[in-house]
Structure 1
Amino acid sequence: MNQTYLLEWLDLLVTFTLNPSKTDVTKITAVQSKTIIEKTKEQTLFIQSQFKIKVFSLSKEKQIKIIVGNYHSSLIIFLDNAIERSHTVEFERFDLKQVINTLITCFDELLSFIETRFSNYLSLDMRVPATYLLISKKKLKQRIDKLKNSSTSAINGQMATGILFDNLYSFVNSKKDRKVTFRHVLYREQLIKELQLLKILQNEDQTNSALDEILIYMNFNSRAFINYFTQRVADKINCCESTAGKIESLLFHFKEFSQIHCKDGVILNPHHQDLKTVLNEWFKHEMTYLEKQQHFSVVPLHSMDKKQHQTITTDKTNEKVLCKLSTDQTALILRASDELKILIAKSMNHVFKTIVPFLSTPNKADLSYDSMRSKSYVAEERDKELAINALECIIKKIKSY
C-alpha cells in the first residue's frame, strides 16, 4: 500500500510557514506569496487526483474508511487553523490575505471533494467542529437563497415549498448549541443538489408534485411534511361521495406513493421513523377504517352538509372541555384507550367522533375528530413523552387521594 502523505506540503505550510508563533510571516515577500498561491492551487488538483488513486488501490473497506476519515479530519483541522489566522494582524497585509484566503478555499474544496465522492466511508455521526459548521451553514444559506429565488420553487405547491424552506432556513439560521453531525450537513447538501436538478416542466395530472417526489425520495421525514402529505391525500379522497369511491381513490394514491423510490442511507431526522414507514402505516390504517366504514355503513362526517356541521359545532361551543394537551398528544391517549379497551365503542372512529367534538385546546376551539384520528397514527417522540408525562401526573394524583 502506498504510504505517501498527500497533505505534506499543505501541512508544513499551515504548521510552520504561515504560523506566526513559529515563523515571522511578515518577512514573506509579495513574490513568495504569489508562489505560495500558485503552488496551493496546484496542490488542490494534485491531491484530488492522487487521493482517488490511493483509495481505489485499496481492497478492504476498513482501510478505505481509515484513510478517508484521517484525511477528512486533517483537512478540517487545517481549515480551522487557516480561518483563525485570517483574523490576526499578521495577515492584514494584502498579499498575505490573498494567501490565507486561497488556502481556505483549497481546504474547503478538498473537503467538498471527499464528502461528495467518499461520503459512504465517513463517520457521519461525528460532531461537526464549530468553525467548519459556520462555513458550511454560510455556503448552504447562499445555495438556499439562490434556490428560493429560482423558478423551481414557484412551480410546486405553496404549502410543501413553505415547509421545505422553513426547515432549511431553520437549520442554517439556528444559533442553538446543539450537536450537529456530518450527517445533518451532508443531508442538506444532497437535498439541495436534488432540488437544483428538479425539472420545471411536469404533468399537471400527476398525483404527486415533483417536489413531493423528491422529498419522499430523500426521506424528508419532517412532521410538518407528513401532516401536509396525509391531509392532501385525505382531502382528495373525501371528494368522493361513496365509501367505495374513497377506497378506490385511496388505493390509487397508495399505488402512486409506493412507486416512488427512496434513496438508500439518507434521512432528515435520524432519530425518527423513515418517511415511507410512517406513510405506509397511515395508508394501511386509513384503508382499514374505510373498509370498516363500508362494512357497517357508517355515514362519514365529511358527507354532512357544511352548514349543518357548523350549526352543530356552534351549539356545542359552550359545552366544550378545555384540554391543555395538544391535539397530537390527546390523539395518542384516545387511541391507546381504545386499543386497551378502556374506552369501549363499536370502532376507534366512534371513540374520536363521540369525544372530540366536546374538546378544545388552548390553540384551537373546534377540533376535527377525523384529523385527530389520523394524527394518532403519526406519533412524534416529543408528543409521546408529553402524553406519558401527563398520564404519570394523573397516576401520582390518584395515589395521593
Structure 2
Amino acid sequence: MNQTYLLEWLDLLVTFTLNPSKTDVSEITTVQSKAIIEKTIEQTLFIQSEFKIKVFSLNKEKQIKIIVGNYHSSLIIFLDNVIERSHNVVFERFDLKQVINTLISCFDELLSFIETRFSDYLSLDLRVPATYLLISKKKLKQKIDKLKNSSTSTINNQKVTVILFDSLYSFVNSKRNEKVTFRQVLYRKQLIKELELLKVKQNEDQANAALDEILIYMNFNSRKYINYFTKCVADKINCCESAAGKMENLLFYFKEFNQIHSKDGVILNPHHQDLKTVLSDWFKHEMMYLEKKLHFSVVPLLTIDKKQNQTAVIDITKDKVLCKLSTDQTALILRASDELKILIAKSMNHVFKTIVPFLSTPHKVDPSYDSMRSKSYVAEERDKKIVIETLERMIKQIKEY
C-alpha cells in the first residue's frame, strides 16, 4: 500500500507558510504569491490524478473507506483554517487575498471530487462542519440562481418548477441550527448537476417528461411533488369517460413510469418512503379500484318472458369452453397471439372482445374481456412461468403427432 501523503505541500502551506502565528505572512512578496497560486492550481490537478491511482491500487473496501475518509476530513479542516485566516488583517492585501481565494477554490474542488467519485466510501450521515456547510450553501445558491434563469425554469409546467426551486432554496436559505449531514448536501449537489445537464426539448410534453424523469431518477420524494405527479396522471386518466378507457390509460402511464430508472442510495428526505415505492403503490391502488369498477359494471345478459312478464337470466355458460389457465394467464396468451399476428383482428381489444365471451376459467364463469385485456399488461412472474410451461407442454405434444 502506497503511503505517500498527497496533501503534504498544501498541509505545510496552510499550517506554516500562511499561518500568522508561526510565520510573518506580510513578508511574502507579490512574486511569491503568484508562485503559490500557480503551485496550488497544479497541486489540485495532481492530487486528483494521484488519488484515483492510490484508491484503485487498494483491494479491500475497509482500506478504501479509511483513506477516502481521512483525506475528506483533512480537506475540510484545511478549508476551515483558510476561511478563518481570511478574516485576518494581513490577508487584506490584494495578492494575499487572491492566494486565500485560490486555496478555498482548491479545497472546494477536491472535496467535490471525492464526494462525487467516492461517495460510497464516505460516512454520509455525519454532521457537516459549520464552515464547510456555509461554503457549500453559498456555492449551491449560486448554481440554483443560475438554473432558475436558465431553460430549466422555462418549462411550461410552472407547478413542478416551483416545487423544485422552493425545495432547493429552502435548504440553502435555512438559518436554523439543525443537523445537516453530508448526505443532504451531496444530494443537492447531484440533483443540481442533473438539472444542469437537462436540455429542454422543443416539444412541451417532452420537456416536462424529461424533468419528471430526473426527479424520479433522483428520488425526489417531496410530498408536494408526489401530490403533483399523481394529480397529473389522474387528470389524464379522467379524460376518458369509460372505466375501460381509464384502465388502458392508467396501464400505459404505469408502464412509462416503471421504465424510468432510479439512482441507488440517493433520496431527498431520508425519513420518508422512496418516491418509486409511493408512486407504484398509488398506481396499484388505482388499478384495483378501476378493476372493481369494471367488475361491477358487467351486467348479466337478461331477457323478458312476455307471457309471464318476468325477467329471466339466459344461461350462456353451457356453450362456453373451459380454459384451465387463470384469467391472467389466458390474457398473456391472447396478447402474445395478437402482437405476433397469430390472431389477426382490427385491434387487440377486438381479439379479447370476440374470444373471451366464449371462455370460462376455473375461477370465473364470465370473465370480463376488458378486465382480461387490462391484466395482460401487468403480468406477474408466476403467471408468465405457468404460461411458458404450458406452451412447452403443447410443443412437446405436437412433436409427438
Global fold match (TM > 0.5) = yes
Task: Establish whether residue 230 from structure 1 lines up as the match of residue 226 from structure 2.
Answer: no
The residue identity in structure 2 corresponding to 1:153 is S
Runs of 4+ that moved beyond 3 A? 202-208
The residue aligned with 1:354 is: none
CA positional deviation for 1:202 = 5.4
Letter of the 1:276 partner, please give it. K
Deviation at 1:33, TM superposition (A): 2.1
Q: Which residue of 2 aligns with 1:58?
A: 58
Matches within 5 A, 1:185-204: 185-201=185-201, 203=203
Q: In the superposition, relative to structure 1, how do residues 205 and 38 fare at CA in structure 2: closer, same or farther (>3 Å)?
A: closer
Equivalent residue runs for 1:85-124 within 5 Å: 85-124=85-124
CA–CA distance in 2 between the matches of 1:95 and 1:136?
25
Q: Distance in 1 between matches of 2:208 and 2:159?
A: 13
CA contact (8 A) 1:156 1:211 kept: no
Which segment drifts farther, 195-204 or 276-285? 195-204
- 2:253 counterpart SS class: helix
Pairing of 1:170-189 with structure 2 (within 5 A) = 170-189=170-189
Whether the aligned pair in 1 keeps the contact of 2:218 and 2:266 (CA below 8 Å) is: yes
1:19 lines up with 2:22 in the alignment: no
- Which amino acid letter does the alignment assign opposite residue 160 of structure 1? V
- Residues 156 and 209, structure 1, Cα contact 8 Å, conserved in 2: no
TM-fit CA distance, 1:72:
0.6
Greater radius of gyration (CA): 2
Q: After TM superposition, list the pairs within 5 Å mapping 1:313-392 onto structure 2.
A: none
Q: Provide the C-alpha distance between the structure 1 equivalents of 2:26 and 2:205, rounded to a whole number of angstroms.
A: 67
The whole-number CA distance in structure 2 between the counterparts of 1:281 and 1:224 is 17
CA distance 1:205–1:81, shift in 2 (3 Å): closer
Distance in 2 separating the partners of 1:215 and 1:281: 18
Partners of 2:181 and 2:187 in 1: how far apart?
10
For 1:247 and 1:102, the matched residues in 2 are separated by 59
Tell whether 2:42 aligns with 1:42.
yes
1:166 maps to 166
Distance 1:73 1:157 in 2: 42
Unpaired segments ≥5 residues, structure 2: 299-401
Alpha-carbon distance in structure 1 between the residues aligned to 2:204 and 2:41: 48
Residue 200 of structure 2 contacts residue 207 of structure 2 at CA under 8 Å; is this kept in 1?
no
Cα offset, 1:203, TM superposition: 4.6
- What is residue 77 of structure 1 aligned with on the other side? 77
Displacement of 1:258 in angstroms is 0.9
Does structure 2 retain, via aligned residues, the 8 Å contact 1:156–1:210? Answer: no
> Residues of 1 paired with 2:61 and 2:12: CA distance?
30
- Aligned partner of 1:142 in structure 2 is 142
1:238-249 equivalences in 2 (<5 Å) = 238-249=238-249
Q: Distance in 2 between matches of 1:156 and 1:78?
A: 44
Q: Deviation string for 1:157-185 (max 9, x for gaps)?
A: 11111111111111111111111111111
- The 3-state SS of whatever aligns with 2:4 is coil
**Deviation at residue 295 of structure 1 after TM alignment:** 2.6
Gap change, CA 1:38 and 1:205, over 3 Å in 2: closer
User: Contact 1:124–1:181 (CA<8 Å) still a contact in 2?
Assistant: yes
- Does structure 1 residue 133 correspond to structure 2 residue 130? no
Please say if residues 157 and 209 of structure 1, whose CA atoms lie closer than 8 Å, have aligned partners that are also in contact.
Answer: no
In structure 1, C-alpha distance between the alignment counterparts of 2:208 and 2:291, rounded to whole Å:
24
Structure 2 equivalent of residue 365 of structure 1 = none
Task: Provide the C-alpha distance between the structure 2 equivalents of 1:179 and 1:102, rounded to a whole number of angstroms.
Answer: 29
Summarize deviations over 1:342-382 as a string: whole Å, max 9, x none.
xxxxxxxxxxxxxxxxxxxxxxxxxxxxxxxxxxxxxxxxx
> What TM-score, normalized by structure 1, do the two folds share?
0.71
CA distance in structure 2 between the partners assigned to 1:42 and 1:290 by the alignment:
64
Tell me by how many angstroms 1:57 deviates: 1.0
Aligned residues between the structures: 298
**Percent of matched pairs sharing the same residue:** 85
Preserved contact between residue 219 and residue 266 of structure 1 (Cα < 8 Å): yes
Q: What 5-or-longer segments of structure 1 have no aligned partner?
A: 299-401
Q: 1:105-153: per-residue Cα shift (whole Å, max 9, x none)?
A: 1111111111122122111111111111111111111111111111232
| Maintained 8 Å contact 1:144/1:192 | yes
Judged with a 3 Å threshold, the aligned counterparts in structure 2 of structure 1 residues 205 and 88 are, in CA distance, closer, same or farther, namely: closer
Amino acid corresponding to residue 286 of structure 2 in structure 1: E
* Deviation (angstroms), 1:30: 2.5
Task: Describe the superposition over 1:254-292 as per-residue Cα deviations: whole angstroms up to 9, x where unpaired.
Answer: 111111111111111111110000011111111111222
Structure 2 match to 1:5 = 5
Q: Does structure 2 conserve the Cα–Cα contact (< 8 Å) formed by 1:14 and 1:78? A: yes
Give the drift of 1:296.
Answer: 3.0
Q: Residues 253 and 206 from structure 1, CA distance in 2 versus in 1: closer, same or farther, beyond 3 angstroms?
A: farther
Contact preservation (8 Å) 1:26, 1:90: yes
Verify the 8 A CA contact 1:40 1:106 in the aligned structure 2: yes
Q: Distance in 2 between matches of 1:289 and 1:201?
A: 35
Q: Distance in 2 between matches of 1:25 and 1:205?
A: 59
Give the Cα separation in 1 of the matches to 2:130 and 2:31: 34
Distance verdict in 2 for CA 1:59–1:188, change over 3 Å: same
Q: 1:207, 1:256 within 8 Å by CA — same for their partners in 2?
A: no
How far apart, CA to CA, are the structure 2 residues paired with 1:206 and 1:4?
50
Determine the C-alpha separation between the residues in 2 that align with 1:256 and 1:29: 63
Matched residue SS, 1:209: helix
Residue 263 of structure 2 corresponds to: 263
Which stretch of the first structure deviates more once superposed, 267-276 or 21-30? 21-30
Q: Which residue of 2 aligns with 1:209?
A: 209
Report the alpha carbon displacement of residue 205 of structure 1 after superposing the two structures with TM: 5.9
Q: Is the 8 A contact 1:207 1:253 kept in 2?
A: no
| CA positional deviation for 1:187 | 0.9
